[in-house]
Amino acid sequence: MQHVDGNALAGALAEFFSFDVTTAVARCNGCGATDEFARALVYTSPAGTVVRCASCDHVLATLVESGDRAWLGFSGVSALEVRRA
């Protein structure tokens, strides 16, 4: 399956967060690597979006949208670092 980088999340997650999530640094539960969400591997399909660690391919997050609802899961992220302006 083809993937794009984490910048593809900017529009989808802007609705839920007041900051650009792609600039946040996530720590992977799988390998412990830390990197900006913009560098993650993003796989999209009609069923939803899966975000994977660029270092170990562990699932970091999922996004499923359906009409007036959305489900966000960050089960593969142990920490999210957000820089303040």
Give, for 14, the enclosing helix (H) or strand (E): helix 9-14
Contact partners, residue 72, CB within 8 Å, separation at least 6:
13, 16, 61, 62, 63
Per the CB < 8 A criterion, the answer to whether 76 and 29 are in contact is yes
Note the pLDDT of residue 83: 83
Residues 56-73 pLDDT 10s = 999 999 999 999 999 999
| pLDDT given for residue 71 in this prediction | 95
| Sheet order of strands, 59-66 included | 4-5, 41-45, 48-52, 59-66, 69-73
